Structure 1
Amino acid sequence: MKLIFAGILAGLIATTAAKAGEMVFTSWGGTTQEAQTKSWAEPFTASAGVKVLQDGPTDYGKLKAMVDAKNVTWDVVDVEMDFAIKAAKDGLLEPIDFAVVPKDDLDPRFSNEHAIGSFYYSFVLAWNKGAVPGEPAGWADMFDTKKFPGKRTFYKWSAPGVIEIALLADGVPADKLYPLDLDRAFKKLDTIKSDIVWWGGGAESQQLIASGEAAFGQLWNGRVFALEKDGADVGVSWNQNLTAADVLVVPKGAKNKDAAMKFLAAASSPTGQAKFAEASGYAPINTKAKA
């Protein structure tokens, strides 16, 4: 998820460590972070009196470098679960203060000693209706260049998504995916290698599909939601969608840890989760949230 900032975030980028009464929230930019700003940061500032500066996009190498250098300028970071698990093992994260952050109503699959759930997302099949004849039914159609010609775009990071998609398209049943057959997956991807455009950030994936540069795409559902809200002529299939979750973490040595924990409590609350779901199209982690 490495992407450029747009819109309202342009003037909110945090270039230095937060001052007293401030904290820094780092996420993936674009429409997702805009929704997080409106749903979490702005209400938190109003209620707690803590100004939330925005930075991004999330960069795992940068987070590690900050911690290693003992010069951490980020306080809360939205990351993928696989990174959070490894980062905790590597000593890069602060433990969550569950005396401040209620966890009883959070999905326990995405809450642990060093992370709490941010939101559920799904990788869905999206396409530009002007570039694709008919209506694709699933991932197998992404690999059928005769029936559906045009470029295809995939998320360039392996976990999670592209390997599973290749195997599903090759006929592997969903309940037989794991352990992943990497050789089979890469062999399947090689069949359309010349037609693949790789994306690394959500805004990039939206641009590829909306412009028609890529006819098909593996997109986060919230990015498709945003395209539809903007009137883009896109289609979407939820067949064989892949669901996972982002989580929120506090880097080891964060300078505003107390404010960070209070922010986590607000962001993961039923109200915060419901507001974000309405704004983004992503599903809430809090089981009491009612969007």
Structure 2
Amino acid sequence: MRHEHLRTLLVTGALLAATAACGGQSGTEAAAKTLTWASTGGQFQADEKKALQEPFTAKTGTTFVNVSPAEPAQVKAMVAAGKTTWDLANMSWIYAGAYCGELYEKLDDPSLDRSKFPPGTTHDCFVPTYRYANVFSYNADDYKADPPTKIDDFFDVARFPGKRIVQDYPKSGLLEAALIADGVAPDQVYPLDLDRAFRKLDTIKDSLVFAPSYGAVQQMLVDRQGSMVITVTARSIVTAQSGANLKAVWDFTTTDIGALVIPKGSPNKALAQQGIAFVTEPAQAKAYAELTGTAPARTDVDISSIAYSDLQKSFNAFLPDRGRLLEQDKPWWIANTDAVVKRWTSWKVS
């Protein structure tokens, strides 16, 4: 199945990206132990350098060239030009799943033991490097006497008035939350009943604020443009650090993974796979979790051994007594993203 929406995203800006792809190091110029790592930039890429890259350099002598942002259009352009310069990219696993073997390399290193990761979080072209959640939280200054306590409250604008800030992308946990609030049991959420989910969203549509980026989510909350939010773990933490009086609600929460993927034609595929295996090892996984507040991907890392701050703990869905957790279904989202995004876009303007 082809995913036309993803193709549209990948094609956008591809001509400009192709020009950039042809620059930089050539295969003959690149050192044998240099990996080019594409990511989001900013603090999160700085955390990757400290917790993941520097220990790999110390162990193997491998150096890193860091670039940002990690855009799928750039991957498409590089592969099309036959000049892939990135070895590792921190981007949504959806792209790697949809174009596995075509734009992204299959992972075949035996050190990437998929049994070490939670069920449903791995694929031929990706394994998780960390786990996070789509956290429902609220501004405690707005609900002092009667705070929200369950996911249903996100959809109760009569009892809990105020704007709800959401990422302008349907895979933000909102559709699953809508179904749970409408009475669907967690083990019956997938395959998503989109008609039912959007009917539930209709009941709060006038109270939704669509943020174009995680940075916009953070700024809107700090500026008090909304009273409730569903957003990712790390952004929840940073937003609270920035001054928003956020409190998490632990009733129902979707969980997801971050992944490092390898663009097709990487000049250092074998070394890149070794890098992926290394960053998921307990020492690096714990160091990254402590910096970001996310959770290690491997099931053999004891989360209670991680020195989270109190603020990080308050937004960490993987600690005890966090209510009902549901991992977002990877095969379903890979197969249906095109249809869901089309439906989402149409619904917003209807």
In structure 1, distance between residues paired with 2:213 and 2:45: 12
Match of 1:74 in 2: 86
Q: Indicate how the Cα distance of structure 1 residues 143 and 112 shifts in structure 2: closer, same or farther if over 3 A, else same.
A: closer
Q: 1:110 is paired with a residue of what secondary structure? A: coil
Asked if 1:225 is matched to 2:232, the reply is: no
Asked if 1:114 is matched to 2:125, the reply is: yes
Q: Aligned Cα RMSD in Å?
A: 2.6
Match of 2:3 in 1: none
Q: Which runs of 5+ in 2 are unaligned?
A: 1-20, 307-350
Displacement, 1:259? Answer: 3.4
Displacement, 1:241? Answer: 0.6
How do 1:118-129 and structure 2 match up within 5 A?
118-129=129-140
Displacement, 1:267? Answer: 1.0
Report percent identity of matched pairs: 31
2:185 to 158, 173, 179: 173
Q: Which runs of 5+ in 1 are unaligned?
A: 1-13
Moved more, 278-287 or 195-204: 195-204
In structure 2, distance between residues paired with 1:31 and 1:129: 26
Cα contact 2:172–2:230 (8 A) shared by 1: no
Cα contact 2:179–2:200 (8 A) shared by 1: yes
Match of 1:56 in 2: 68
In structure 2, distance between residues paired with 1:195 and 1:206: 18
Match of 1:267 in 2: 279
Moved more, 119-128 or 183-192: 183-192
Give the TM-score taking structure 1 as reference length: 0.83
Asked if 1:194 is matched to 2:176, the reply is: no
Give the TM-score taking structure 2 as reference length: 0.70
For 1:28, the aligned partner's letter is T
Match of 2:346 in 1: none
Corresponding pairs, count: 277
For 1:166, the aligned partner's letter is A
Cα contact 2:163–2:226 (8 A) shared by 1: yes
Larger Rg: 1 or 2?
2
1:142 to 140, 154, 158: 154
Q: 1:238 is paired with a residue of what secondary structure? A: coil
In structure 1, distance between residues paired with 2:213 and 2:23: 24
In structure 2, distance between residues paired with 1:55 and 1:145: 43
Q: Indicate how the Cα distance of structure 1 residues 288 and 177 shifts in structure 2: closer, same or farther if over 3 A, else same.
A: closer
Q: Indicate how the Cα distance of structure 1 residues 43 and 237 shifts in structure 2: closer, same or farther if over 3 A, else same.
A: same
